[in-house]
Amino acid sequence: MIASTLSKDAEKDRAATISAALLSLGEMAAKELARGELSEIYVKGENGSMVLVALRKNAVLTVLAGKDANLTLVFPNMKKTAEELEKMVWGGNPSTISEKFNQS
């Protein structure tokens, strides 16, 4: 986990574990059901949403949004963050990230 606004280490660990599990299941489901490469996972509950975007193999960007969050604003910010991570962490080309977001 690179950054988090979750208050406790246990919450951070739980969020990271759940994100990894969802990413793994999502990738498997997309492959087994011939849906192509996984782009994103969206979970909505009564207290808010969880949005995951696969960045690279074993790398996921997860956003926990409140129930009143406007997801049309969340996605562009996730795209920008993903592009910055691609450059800073992996030294890669952010256009590969843009392509993932344009699939949605």
Decide if 81 is inside a domain: yes
80: pLDDT confidence band, cut at 50, 70 and 90?
A: confident
Cα–Cα distance measured from residue 16 to residue 44, given in angstroms and rounded to the nearest whole number: 17
Helix %, strand %, coil % for the chain, to 5?
50, 20, 30
Residue 101 has pLDDT above 70, yes or no: no
State whether residue 57 is helix, strand or coil: coil
Cα–Cα distance measured from residue 47 to residue 103, given in angstroms and rounded to the nearest whole number: 27
| Global confidence as pTM | 0.74
Cα–Cα distance measured from residue 15 to residue 8, given in angstroms and rounded to the nearest whole number: 11
What's the DSSP call for residue 7?
S
Question: Mean pLDDT in the chain?
Answer: 82
Find the mean pLDDT for residues 68-89: 87
Q: How many separate domains does the chain show?
A: 1
pLDDT, one tens digit per residue, over 16-48 is: 889 989 989 998 999 999 999 888 899 999 999
Pick the residue with more confidence: 54 or 18?
A: 18
Decide if 4 is inside a domain: no
Pick the residue with more confidence: 4 or 10?
A: 10
Contact 39, 51 (CB under 8 A): no
What pLDDT was estimated at residue 38? Answer: 85
Decide if 23 is inside a domain: yes
Note down the domain range covering 27: 9-102
Decide if 98 is inside a domain: yes
State whether residue 37 is helix, strand or coil: coil
